[in-house]
Structure 1
Amino acid sequence: MRDNAPPQQLTFDLPLDPRYGAEDFLVSPSNEEAYALIEAWPDWPDTVFLLRGPPGSGKSHLASIWATRAQAWTVSAADVAGTNVSHLISNGALVVEDVDREAGRDEAALFHLLNLARERRFPVLLTACGPVDGFGLKVADLRSRLRLAPGAEIGPPDDALLKAVIVKLFADRQLGIDTSVVDALALRIDRSLARVREVVAELDRDALGRRRRITRPLALAVLDRMAAADGQEAGQEEDGQEDGDGDRSGAS
């Protein structure tokens, strides 16, 4: 018996370059405080500012907007090392991304950078996901300095922002989308813009591979499939941790 379902099309998972222009940033109550901070430049009351928000919330987008206006360089926290601090401050302004990420972070160099920024009135915008006390900092003076740094926090997206981002991400992929699909996704998707990007990408791949348009049933099916996959991965991680604990217990 022949299967009448349309054949799947070979797809190539080519990542889309995010658009970080000021005109591409969507303002809502969840991010308006952070957006106002960037808009206030250069009338900042301090030289060091900390921009916080969950992954995918728009921190890098806002930092990119400010970097363009301030003609700032953008580096990761792991790029700030004792040998290049003088070079980094030579440009006149700097964005340091992911100061909460411990991998490769040189706390002494970062503290030196912030001290020089204060002395020379050199503006630095720092980004991080959570509160300073969760950064795992070992240098007490750096922890104190960051606690005192003014800044803003981006909160979870509200309904209006969530729907606007869904529409924008589909438009970036040159895909028209029905409002019923947008409403269904906004109702059931995790309150995370990072998750929205994952879901839109998965829907695009699924629709292209099956040569189907994106409908509400397809969107809900993809959400269920992704949730099941996440649950399976979480279960495997827990099993791995239990096995590891058992191995350590047997060896001691």
Structure 2
Amino acid sequence: MRDTEPPKQLTFDLPLDPRYGAEDFLVSPSNEEAYALIEAWPDWPDTVFLLRGPPGSGKSHLASIWATRAQAWTVSAADVAMDRVSHLISNGALVVEDVDRAAGRDEAALFHLLNLARERRFPVLLTACGPVDGFGLKVADLRSRLRLAPGAEIGPPDDALLKAVIVKLFADRQLGIDTSVVDALALRIDRSLARVREVVAELDRDALGRRRRITRPLALAVLDRMEAADGGGEGQDADEGDGEEEDAAGGP
């Protein structure tokens, strides 16, 4: 008698909080300069530093590590307003996230905050995705000040970091994963840690919904489906061809 596939299980998209402890940060050649900057605290040669890197590269994680050590507050650049500057610098240290999104907001307030930080030797760590000239800032003095700010840049993840992050993200979800799955994902996935998070979350949902373990064929099929969705086409179903390859790989 032919086996029938078990019905899909209802799944819930519950948020998985990222772990931002120092012990959770994975150091590799792509981020070691930025990590060294945080490790050098409090022996910084300046008061204002700019940490740059693509979305999901670990900027907020490093900023969180530094904020814990420096007992700093963390705010978004969008929350910096002239009537809040005095309050923001009262704590003794500050992280300002996403300064690349400050354009069109209270740029004068951010410039005033950075001036006060320099005058009072008040440490500020800024984060951004790209180069200052791409921020679209209207205040020339702020643009100049940010250009001159020392700092570090996080590059695209190398192979070792990509694989380590894949393993860690599955482990964060209490999921053991075979090395063949890790290798296949690392070979095919976009060189973006943000994309890695999306793929791992989708694989977790898919495997849970089908009540099946995550295999290499399933991982590749889900990748195909996600890439097709991004391109507006139709991807391969996650079941298609799964059994034959899985048997060849020795899976149950």
Q: Fold match, TM over 0.5?
A: yes
Q: Residues 222 and 250 of structure 1: is their aligned pair in 2 closer, same or farther, counting only changes over 3 Å?
A: closer
Q: Please list the CA deviations of residues 53-91 of structure 1 after superposition, one character each: whole Å capped at 9, or x if unmatched.
A: 000000000000000000000000011001100000000
Q: Residues 251 and 8 of structure 1: is their aligned pair in 2 closer, same or farther, counting only changes over 3 Å?
A: closer
Q: Is the Cα–Cα contact under 8 Å of residues 52 and 153 in structure 2 kept in the other structure?
A: yes
What is the rounded CA distance, in whole Å, between the counterparts of 2:3 and 2:137 in structure 1? 59
Q: Please list the CA deviations of residues 37-60 of structure 1 after superposition, one character each: whole Å capped at 9, or x if unmatched.
A: 000000000000000000000000
What is the rounded CA distance, in whole Å, between the counterparts of 1:235 and 1:178 in structure 2? 24
Q: Residues 150 and 233 of structure 1: is their aligned pair in 2 closer, same or farther, counting only changes over 3 Å?
A: farther
Report the CA distance between 1:133 and its aligned residue: 0.1
Q: Residues 215 and 241 of structure 1: is their aligned pair in 2 closer, same or farther, counting only changes over 3 Å?
A: closer
Q: Which runs of 5+ in 2 are unaligned?
A: none
Q: Please list the CA deviations of residues 82-104 of structure 1 after superposition, one character each: whole Å capped at 9, or x if unmatched.
A: 11000000000000000001476
Q: Is the Cα–Cα contact under 8 Å of residues 49 and 126 in structure 1 kept in the other structure?
A: yes
Q: Residues 240 and 182 of structure 1: is their aligned pair in 2 closer, same or farther, counting only changes over 3 Å?
A: closer
Q: Is the Cα–Cα contact under 8 Å of residues 33 and 153 in structure 1 kept in the other structure?
A: yes
Q: Is the Cα–Cα contact under 8 Å of residues 103 and 138 in structure 2 kept in the other structure?
A: no
1:74 maps to 2:77: no
Count of residue correspondences: 249
Q: Residues 64 and 250 of structure 1: is their aligned pair in 2 closer, same or farther, counting only changes over 3 Å?
A: closer
Q: Residues 19 and 232 of structure 1: is their aligned pair in 2 closer, same or farther, counting only changes over 3 Å?
A: same
TM-score, with length taken from structure 2: 0.91
What is the rounded CA distance, in whole Å, between the counterparts of 1:131 and 1:12 in structure 2? 38
Q: Residues 103 and 209 of structure 1: is their aligned pair in 2 closer, same or farther, counting only changes over 3 Å?
A: farther
Q: Residues 9 and 240 of structure 1: is their aligned pair in 2 closer, same or farther, counting only changes over 3 Å?
A: closer
Q: Is the Cα–Cα contact under 8 Å of residues 78 and 103 in structure 1 kept in the other structure?
A: no
Report the CA distance between 1:248 and its aligned residue: 57
Q: Deviation above 3 Å: which 4+ runs of structure 1? A: 233-243, 247-252
Q: Please list the CA deviations of residues 96-147 of structure 1 after superposition, one character each: whole Å capped at 9, or x if unmatched.
A: 0000014763100000000000000000000000000000000000000000
State which drifts further: 27-36 or 100-109.
100-109
Q: Residues 229 and 83 of structure 1: is their aligned pair in 2 closer, same or farther, counting only changes over 3 Å?
A: same
**Same amino acid, percent of matched pairs:** 93
Report the CA distance between 1:6 and its aligned residue: 1.1
Q: Is the Cα–Cα contact under 8 Å of residues 228 and 234 in structure 2 kept in the other structure?
A: no
Q: Residues 68 and 234 of structure 1: is their aligned pair in 2 closer, same or farther, counting only changes over 3 Å?
A: farther
Task: Supply the RMSD in Å over aligned alpha carbons.
Answer: 10.6
Q: Residues 224 and 241 of structure 1: is their aligned pair in 2 closer, same or farther, counting only changes over 3 Å?
A: closer
Residue 40 of structure 2 corresponds to: 40
Q: Residues 217 and 235 of structure 1: is their aligned pair in 2 closer, same or farther, counting only changes over 3 Å?
A: closer
Q: Is the Cα–Cα contact under 8 Å of residues 78 and 104 in structure 1 kept in the other structure?
A: no
Q: Is the Cα–Cα contact under 8 Å of residues 80 and 109 in structure 1 kept in the other structure?
A: yes
